[in-house]
Chains A and B, each alone.
Chain A
């Protein structure tokens, strides 16, 4: 089937199997590998992306279901080389260690803050309940989301949900080197 959709601001048209999951489309067809697959049961949230600005688990969306819609991945969040405020807060508060859950966690946090710009700690924890992290004990992730919310309320112009931002990295210039 042909799927036409917008990924990180770029229009795409690809021939895909009807059963192709959005996460596999993003990773294998688009070469956008920030979103990860961490489970088989829609439990862990490592694959979270934004679909029209709302966070979804891309392992549970068929590519063809996303046709005509706007997908934003972690690669599309930073603009002009600057970290998105949520990304910056994750760094500032040490909200990531191994990094595997991080792109999904950041997208879930962006989605959460777009719905609730001034959450309490309990609301942050409940909002991220579907995103697992094994490294941080969630402590600094919660701090990061609260810090991002506080920064946004102090400077409201930075809070726009970046559905339409330009992709930070073109599809064909993904990091190919191996770390280490």
Chain B
């Protein structure tokens, strides 16, 4: 019986449960003996000129080894914006701020000490003379260019995606109903449980070894080499266990480069581990889009036209966040057949923490926009939102479907996913209960929210190159096997899943197969883990390598057994080659590794990205007197093709659903008008806890893709894409009978209560509340 598709427990768990994972801060290595500790002095002001930085007092504090400012690090190159050419080229930065600071938390100086507590003390003694400038937090104010972050750029606009002046004035001609709304997809914090960290040591050969929690050591090597102005061969990245990433640990950050620089300058290893306060103000944030949706159609429920206009808050320096609209626009129409649709976007810089990738990165924003728009349209014409969805979903297709926005959907059956989730949730019963509560004037209103989604997983490099990943499989004489992968697990369970794939081909038990990754000397190439790419590319590569290894072994077995390779059968159950018709003439696979190493490295290449899809249904109770939202149920259908290990796939769905729901009704990074972060600790940032979510209800659906032999698509981001609009729609739905049409996320008690009051005041004419500023 095949092991594929079965519930295999994780081989990595015993270690995590007993001695605990070995995260960067836990690494004990002789190369790091005697390491000094690096501490960053960060700006407490959002926008200011730096007049002077004085480290004199800090230098005389106990345990201080050194202190540096930007002037000391002038041998490091300026950091260009991501995607120069597309982004405004003048929006550069240094690894430490020089001249200006542009967000609270930007590093200005470093203090290096013998011990950690000494650094905490000495940092207080660094004196920075700031000349404050007006903060730029509001996106409209940023776009007005009244206060510039980069004078040399002449504008705060980092990038444009499309041209707003070319929007079609006649897009909604012929629509019986048109409704528009500005909605906020608020800024949230990825907040992996392990914060950022680094450890760096230089060898006598002038080569850097850096331990950095990351999502792909090879990309981190490239990033760090660029920051340090070094050739890549001079940098080795080692990836310890990584305590969560969620998109925010790709590449290398300025702090990582500073730690390496300090180690070189002082001639001794250096380490850094950020505090949660630093993490919440200096690790990239996610989302941060202001959207205007306009949707029009006929009163029979047919959507005819849809427009999405986006202002992306890039934060102070254009990074991946400034690029998010590219993906959002690509997914504009979602799973719907909309006759006419258009989208434009611009990214602006603000005096806030830079925005980057966060679980879904651009696709959740697209789904949130269109799913809110569908519900607005349904409310406008007085039709059940499930019916409006069913009427407009693309019909099932097995040949790729090209959208007007350039996406090529591989396979899809969206209406079936919707019908499955409605059936699993008992949709009609829920509607009946809702009607009963409304009829009796229950102060606890019941809300039912839907979302249908399609998303992109396993993209290539965005260029002409097909997405690919490499794997090496080696069988050892002692009956074990080793896999090298270019993916980079940080909770996803690759050690188990990749072992299952190899075991299926080699007949070697899962617990005898070891996975290695994340050391660039061991695995020089790789795309890492992100964008839900790992199984479809990395897993496919492992399977392919194992199959190719069997063919290599077949040649050796043929020589050993003096038979024709074509006459040999590989018995996976026994992991043995045997001559057909002569079972006594056989040789075990592992023996074929005795005289010569038995290994294969291969590259799997996919024809393109895959497009998983699904439907989510959320049930909330809203206290109409206090505005408090309680999430009662989340029921989901997430179709990501074949499920290799239900245990792991369900875990990915659970985590994503929770993070998605958290954005809908809890989490938000908040700045005041002066650019001060008000959510810079876990005491202030409303991080989701166990009491705020129910257990989740998952329904199964598997529509295979032809883009890889496993038939798999990505599952890692389904939850944040589907759950967020489902929960938001549920909150609005709960209050629809009171005239509420929209509530911006997060649906906090205050915001919900205000929406109820506004609706009552306006006589149920379709009310909404939300922050005006993202």
Closest beta carbon of chain B to A176's beta carbon, Å = 4
CB atoms of A134 and B657 under 8 A apart: no
Task: State whether the Cβ of A56 lies closer than 8 Å to any Cβ in chain B.
Answer: no
Tally A-B pairs: CB < 8 A: 214
Tell me the bound Cα distance from A126 to B683 in angstroms. Answer: 17
CB atoms of B193 and A98 under 8 A apart: yes
- 8 Å CB interface, B242-261 against A: 242-244, 246
Task: State whether the Cβ of A128 lies closer than 8 Å to any Cβ in chain B.
Answer: yes
Q: Given that A34-B19, A75-B20 are known contacts, is A98 also in contact with B687, CB under 8 Å in the complex?
A: no
CB atoms of B659 and A137 under 8 A apart: yes
CB atoms of B239 and A180 under 8 A apart: yes
Q: How many interface residues does chain B have, given as a range?
A: 35 or more
Task: State whether the Cβ of A163 lies closer than 8 Å to any Cβ in chain B.
Answer: no
Q: Which chain A residues lie closer than 8 Å to B693 at the CB level?
A: 137-139
- 8 Å CB interface, A89-110 against B: 90-92, 94, 96-103, 106
CB atoms of B240 and A179 under 8 A apart: yes
Q: List 5 A-B contacts (CB under 8 A).
A: A40-B275, A98-B244, A137-B658, A137-B659, A180-B240
Q: Which chain B residues lie closer than 8 Å to A139 at the CB level?
A: 654, 658, 693, 695-696
Tell me the bound Cα distance from A10 to B510 in angstroms. Answer: 36
Q: Given that A38-B276, A97-B493 are known contacts, is A134 also in contact with B193, CB under 8 Å in the complex?
A: yes
Q: Given that A99-B241, A137-B658, A137-B693 are known contacts, is A94 also in contact with B651, CB under 8 Å in the complex?
A: yes
Q: Which chain A residues lie closer than 8 Å to B14 at the CB level?
A: 83, 91
CB atoms of B647 and A100 under 8 A apart: no
* Complex interface bits, A67-89 against B, C-beta within 8 A gives 1, otherwise 0: 00000001101100001000100
Closest beta carbon of chain B to A155's beta carbon, Å = 20
CB atoms of B29 and A96 under 8 A apart: no
Task: State whether the Cβ of A152 lies closer than 8 Å to any Cβ in chain B.
Answer: no
CB atoms of A137 and B193 under 8 A apart: no
CB atoms of B193 and A106 under 8 A apart: no
CB atoms of B28 and A174 under 8 A apart: yes
Q: Which chain A residues lie closer than 8 Å to B648 at the CB level?
A: 94
Q: Given that A40-B681, A96-B17 are known contacts, is A178 also in contact with B654, CB under 8 Å in the complex?
A: no
Q: Which chain A residues lie closer than 8 Å to B116 at the CB level?
A: 24
Tell me the bound Cα distance from A138 to B651 in angstroms. Answer: 10
Closest beta carbon of chain B to A128's beta carbon, Å = 5
Q: Which chain A residues lie closer than 8 Å to B655 at the CB level?
A: 97, 134-137
Tell me the bound Cα distance from A103 to B23 in angstroms. Answer: 13
CB atoms of B23 and A87 under 8 A apart: no
CB atoms of B117 and A175 under 8 A apart: no
Tell me the bound Cα distance from A34 to B20 in angstroms. Answer: 4
Interface residues of B (CB under 8 A from A): 9-10, 12-23, 25-29, 116-117, 191-195, 211, 238-244, 246, 275-277, 490-493, 516-519, 647-648, 650-651, 654-659, 681-683, 687-691, 693, 695-696, 719
CB atoms of A180 and B518 under 8 A apart: yes
Closest beta carbon of chain B to A167's beta carbon, Å = 10
* Complex interface bits, A103-121 against B, C-beta within 8 A gives 1, otherwise 0: 1001000000000000001
Tell me the bound Cα distance from A27 to B243 in angstroms. Answer: 17
Q: Which chain B residues lie closer than 8 Å to A87 at the CB level?
A: 17-18
Q: Lowest 3 A-B CB distances belong to which pairs? A: A137-B658, A34-B20, A100-B243
In the complex, which residue of chain B has the Cβ closest to the Cβ of A168?
B18
The 8 Å CB contact of B21, one of A91, A99, A121, A136, is A99
- 8 Å CB interface, A1-29 against B: 17, 19-20, 24, 27
CB atoms of A174 and B19 under 8 A apart: yes
CB atoms of B657 and A99 under 8 A apart: no
Tell me the bound Cα distance from A20 to B117 in angstroms. Answer: 9
Q: Given that A33-B26, A180-B516 are known contacts, is A140 also in contact with B651, CB under 8 Å in the complex?
A: yes
Q: Given that A39-B276, A138-B658 are known contacts, is A97 also in contact with B194, CB under 8 Å in the complex?
A: no
CB atoms of B689 and A132 under 8 A apart: yes
In the complex, which residue of chain A has the Cβ closest to the Cβ of B522?
A180
CB atoms of B19 and A100 under 8 A apart: no
Tell me the bound Cα distance from A165 to B403 in angstroms. Answer: 62
Task: State whether the Cβ of A60 lies closer than 8 Å to any Cβ in chain B.
Answer: no
Closest beta carbon of chain A to B40's beta carbon, Å = 15
In the complex, which residue of chain B has the Cβ closest to the Cβ of A173?
B19
CB atoms of B17 and A38 under 8 A apart: no
CB atoms of A142 and B691 under 8 A apart: no
Tell me the bound Cα distance from A136 to B689 in angstroms. Answer: 11
Tell me the bound Cα distance from A169 to B14 in angstroms. Answer: 13
Tell me the bound Cα distance from A175 to B248 in angstroms. Answer: 27
Tell me the bound Cα distance from A48 to B500 in angstroms. Answer: 34
CB atoms of B683 and A98 under 8 A apart: no
In the complex, which residue of chain A has the Cβ closest to the Cβ of B7?
A94
Q: Given that A77-B18, A136-B651, A178-B27 are known contacts, is A141 also in contact with B9, CB under 8 Å in the complex?
A: no
The 8 Å CB contact of A179, one of B22, B29, B191, is B22
CB atoms of B16 and A132 under 8 A apart: no
Task: State whether the Cβ of A35 lies closer than 8 Å to any Cβ in chain B.
Answer: yes
Closest beta carbon of chain A to B317's beta carbon, Å = 25
Interface centre among B10, B193, B687 (most CB of A within 10 A): B193
Tell me the bound Cα distance from A178 to B647 in angstroms. Answer: 26
Task: State whether the Cβ of A64 lies closer than 8 Å to any Cβ in chain B.
Answer: no
Closest beta carbon of chain A to B723's beta carbon, Å = 10
Closest beta carbon of chain B to A52's beta carbon, Å = 22
Closest beta carbon of chain A to B226's beta carbon, Å = 23
Closest beta carbon of chain A to B216's beta carbon, Å = 12
Closest beta carbon of chain A to B235's beta carbon, Å = 16
Q: Which chain A residues lie closer than 8 Å to B243 at the CB level?
A: 36, 98-100
Q: Which chain B residues lie closer than 8 Å to A106 at the CB level?
A: 17
Q: Which chain A residues lie closer than 8 Å to B238 at the CB level?
A: 178, 180
Q: Which chain B residues lie closer than 8 Å to A137 at the CB level?
A: 654-659, 693, 696, 719
Q: Given that A43-B682, A99-B241, A180-B240 are known contacts, is A83 also in contact with B696, CB under 8 Å in the complex?
A: no
CB atoms of B17 and A91 under 8 A apart: yes
Q: Given that A98-B490, A178-B29, A180-B519 are known contacts, is A135 also in contact with B244, CB under 8 Å in the complex?
A: yes
The 8 Å CB contact of A96, one of B13, B28, B277, is B13
- 8 Å CB interface, A129-157 against B: 129-143
CB atoms of B192 and A36 under 8 A apart: no
CB atoms of A138 and B22 under 8 A apart: no
CB atoms of A98 and B242 under 8 A apart: yes
CB atoms of A92 and B240 under 8 A apart: no
- 15 new A-B contacts, CB < 8 A, other than A137-B654, A138-B689, A179-B240, are A19-B117, A34-B20, A36-B25, A36-B193, A78-B18, A83-B18, A99-B241, A100-B243, A101-B193, A126-B691, A131-B690, A134-B193, A134-B659, A135-B655, A180-B518
The 8 Å CB contact of A99, one of B20, B27, B687, is B20
CB atoms of B690 and A43 under 8 A apart: no
Closest beta carbon of chain A to B282's beta carbon, Å = 14
CB atoms of A100 and B23 under 8 A apart: yes
Tell me the bound Cα distance from A138 to B180 in angstroms. Answer: 37
Tell me the bound Cα distance from A102 to B20 in angstroms. Answer: 8
In the complex, which residue of chain A has the Cβ closest to the Cβ of B193?
A100
Closest beta carbon of chain A to B62's beta carbon, Å = 12
Tell me the bound Cα distance from A178 to B236 in angstroms. Answer: 14
Q: Which chain A residues lie closer than 8 Å to B518 at the CB level?
A: 179-180
Q: Which chain B residues lie closer than 8 Å to A97 at the CB level?
A: 244, 491-493, 651, 655
The 8 Å CB contact of B695, one of A31, A74, A99, A142, is A142
CB atoms of B13 and A90 under 8 A apart: yes
Q: Which chain A residues lie closer than 8 Å to B276 at the CB level?
A: 38-41, 44
Closest beta carbon of chain A to B284's beta carbon, Å = 15
Interface centre among B194, B491, B690 (most CB of A within 10 A): B690
In the complex, which residue of chain A has the Cβ closest to the Cβ of B12?
A99
Closest beta carbon of chain A to B285's beta carbon, Å = 15
Q: Given that A98-B194, A98-B491, A121-B695 are known contacts, is A177 also in contact with B22, CB under 8 Å in the complex?
A: yes
Tell me the bound Cα distance from A174 to B239 in angstroms. Answer: 18
Task: State whether the Cβ of A50 lies closer than 8 Å to any Cβ in chain B.
Answer: no
Tell me the bound Cα distance from A164 to B15 in angstroms. Answer: 22
Q: Which chain A residues lie closer than 8 Å to B491 at the CB level?
A: 97-99, 135
CB atoms of A17 and B117 under 8 A apart: yes
CB atoms of A125 and B240 under 8 A apart: no
Q: Which chain A residues lie closer than 8 Å to B682 at the CB level?
A: 38-41, 43-44, 132
Task: State whether the Cβ of A46 lies closer than 8 Å to any Cβ in chain B.
Answer: yes
